[in-house]
Amino acid sequence: MTDAATPTSPSPTAAAETLVRHDEGGVATLRINRPEAFNALDRTTKEALVATLRAVAEDDSVRVVVLTGTGKSFCAGEDLRAHAGNLLSGEQTLANTIDDHYNPIAETLATMDKPVIAAINGIAAGAGVAFALAADFRIMTDDGGMNLAFAGIALSCDSGASFWLPRIIGMAKAKEVLLMPSTLSAADCERLGLVTRVVARDEFDGVVAELAGKLAVGPTRAYGAMRRALAFSATHDLSESLKHERDLMDSTGRTADHLGAVQSFVAKQRPTFTGR
């Protein structure tokens, strides 16, 4: 477990690692590190992403997670060169890797009890788009974009794309971008609501760091409860959602952060949140 108060630098072998984790100030940054392959996901990278996401989800010192890529690509989805080899050898089917990798990655991103930022440092494609959509905030460089490229290789969509797209951009537009894939520019992504904000590349790191830092000093357990409340209400009726909200309010009402915030309000002071 990493101490959030102590910055950790990537190891000397970071250049050879396909996923690099860096912790600082309560922010865990996970960087897909295969720029030569547009940060496409081979088996090693997928396994590392599953394990690392689960680790940061359970790490109380981590209060915000940032997912990004090395270079000028965010994530190109499945590594098709590796996939071609798997098809020929029969070593791994798509159902296997969805069960073992893509579904756990998408679900952990969407359900961990802390905020997630997708720092989209370039083009995202296929499952890379779906991973970004599972985040709470999506910051994209102005030269970035998204391509729901599944139809181009005669595949259906995965990693939650069918769940998030109609909720974000509506059913008709979701069908359009899935059935007629093309690269949506950063401006298109912002107009459709697929990203939170588009920024110039030279401002990108600073904007992501500022947002992550702000979230890292917030009420982490309340953030997690809000994530769960919104996800629950998307598939339940009003009565069920109200009951679920009641349970989440009760649990967050028992936290040290809530007690401290109420005491600070009474004392007319600014609250300090510890994430507990």
Q: Per the domain annotation, does 257 fall within a domain?
A: yes
Compute CA 73 distance to the chain's CA centroid, rounded to the nearest angstrom. 15
Q: Per the domain annotation, does 273 fall within a domain?
A: no
Containing structural domain, residue 197: 14-216
Domain boundary among 176, 193, 216: 216
226 with 119, same domain?
no
Domain boundary among 200, 216, 232: 216
Give me the pLDDT at residue 81, please.
Answer: 80
153 with 27, same domain?
yes
Q: Is the pLDDT of residue 158 over 90?
A: yes
84 with 202, same domain?
yes
User: What are residue 73's DSSP bridge partners?
Assistant: 123
199 with 259, same domain?
no
Higher pLDDT, 153 or 84: 153
Q: Is the pLDDT of residue 166 over 60?
A: yes
Q: Would you say 164 and 195 are in contact if contact means Cβ atoms under 8 Å apart?
A: no
Residue 118 φ then ψ, to 5°: -95, 110
Residue 135 DSSP label: S
Using N-to-C axis directions, what is the helix angle for 103-111 and 43-58, rounded to 10°? 20
240 with 118, same domain?
no
Residues 6+ apart with CB under 8 A from 269: none
65 with 171, same domain?
yes
Summarize the confidence of residues 126-136 as an average pLDDT.
98
Q: Would you say 117 and 67 are in contact if contact means Cβ atoms under 8 Å apart?
A: yes
Three-state SS for 93? coil
Q: Per the domain annotation, does 75 fall within a domain?
A: yes
Q: Is the pLDDT of residue 8 over 80?
A: no
Higher pLDDT, 3 or 222: 222
pTM of the predicted model, to two decimals? 0.91
User: What are residue 27's DSSP bridge partners?
Assistant: 24, 64
Q: How many CB atoms lie within 10 A of CB 175?
A: 12
258 with 182, same domain?
no
Spatial separation of the C-alpha atoms in residues 240 and 246, rounded to whole Å: 10
Q: Per the domain annotation, does 246 fall within a domain?
A: yes
Split at pLDDT 50, 70, 90, the class of 155 is very high
212 with 241, same domain?
no
The dihedral through the CA atoms of 100, 101, 102, 106 has a sign that is positive
Spatial separation of the C-alpha atoms in residues 21 and 161, rounded to whole Å: 25
Average pLDDT, the chain: 92
50 with 93, same domain?
yes
198 with 261, same domain?
no
The dihedral through the CA atoms of 84, 75, 110, 178 has a sign that is negative
Q: Is the pLDDT of residue 5 over 50?
A: no
Q: Provide the CATH number for the domain around residue 245.
A: 1.10.12
Q: Per the domain annotation, does 114 fall within a domain?
A: yes
161 with 254, same domain?
no
Summarize the confidence of residues 96-114 as an average pLDDT.
96
Q: Provide the CATH number for the domain around residue 158.
A: 3.90.226.10
Split at pLDDT 50, 70, 90, the class of 16 is low
Summarize the confidence of residues 269-274 as an average pLDDT.
95
Residue type, 220: T
Q: Per the domain annotation, does 4 fall within a domain?
A: no
121 with 199, same domain?
yes
Spatial separation of the C-alpha atoms in residues 88 and 7, rounded to whole Å: 44
Split at pLDDT 50, 70, 90, the class of 92 is low
Spatial separation of the C-alpha atoms in residues 232 and 226, rounded to whole Å: 10
Q: Per the domain annotation, does 7 fall within a domain?
A: no
Summarize the confidence of residues 244-264 as an average pLDDT.
96
Spatial separation of the C-alpha atoms in residues 218 and 209, rounded to whole Å: 14
Give me the pLDDT at residue 93, please.
Answer: 73
Give me the pLDDT at residue 84, please.
Answer: 72
What tens digit of pLDDT does each residue of 187-211 get? 999 999 999 999 999 999 999 999 9
Tally of domains within the chain = 2
Q: Per the domain annotation, does 260 fall within a domain?
A: yes
Give me the pLDDT at residue 88, please.
Answer: 67
Give me the pLDDT at residue 150, please.
Answer: 96
